[in-house]
A and B are shown apart, each in its own frame.
Chain A
């Protein structure tokens, strides 16, 4: 049974810091991994999707890595800003379809 874990559950950093969010999954037979951002009470915004054949994916100040063999992904945020404050979720597909298994999320607070 696939389980997804995110550490830490919450993180508070001063503006300008570089930070790493962690995601681990128990079954390495995944097609891809997706990172999302969620602002309070809102829907999810897709940040990055990494295919199983990729090691990294970058978008602006965000860089996501994937190590299938160890069951881990990291989301690196460079030069954090207060606007980055949100909950970050990672998810893997259950099978080749539209069912995602989510981690519990990391709540990030970036202080000015």
Chain B
């Protein structure tokens, strides 16, 4: 089975622009979660989508949004980029087994805001 894929892998944007990142989950996985990783804050949860509905949300401003399509692929969008949005953005897909959602991560998108 193919793993989680993320596109693009690298991105350079200017302050004030917007960006869209894409994540394709492992086939059969219906849950997709997004995380932001920075040296100072570590890994922080952005949001989770399950069956096209946002199920969990982290403490990020409304500039960060996401969506999930019927094929479980997910996109996240960041509007009005700030320098502090420079980070590695990771998505993970998971499949429920009992009460457990074991998460599998993609390679990430490295976003640099200048």
By a beta-carbon cutoff of 8 Å, the part of chain A in contact with chain B is 31-32, 34, 36, 41-46, 49, 51, 89, 91, 93-105
Contacts and interface: CB of A to CB of B under 8 A. Distances in A.
A30 to B, nearest CB: 10
B42 A43 contact: no
What's the interface size class on B, roughly?
Answer: 20 to 34
B3 to A, nearest CB: 9
B101 A102 contact: no
B88 interface: yes
A102 B100 CA distance: 16
A97 B45 CA distance: 12
Chain B facing A: main interface SS: strand
Q: Among B33, B99, B101, B105, find the residue whose CB has the most chain A CB atoms closer than 10 A.
A: B101
Given A41-B110, A97-B55, A98-B92, A46 B102 contact: yes
Contacts of B100: 31-32, 49, 51
A36 B102 contact: no
Interface of B: 4, 6, 31-33, 35, 42-43, 45, 48, 50, 55-56, 58, 88, 90, 92, 94, 98-108, 110
A42 to B, nearest CB: 6
B56 A36 contact: no
B48 A43 contact: no
A29 to B, nearest CB: 12
What 7 pairs between A and B have smallest CB-CB spacing? A44-B105, A102-B43, A98-B48, A98-B33, A98-B31, A99-B56, A43-B107
Contact of A100 (B32, B45, B108): B45
Given A46-B102, A98-B32, A98-B48, 19 more contacts: A32-B100, A36-B105, A41-B108, A44-B90, A46-B103, A46-B105, A91-B103, A93-B101, A94-B45, A97-B48, A97-B50, A97-B56, A97-B101, A98-B33, A98-B94, A99-B33, A99-B45, A102-B42, A105-B42
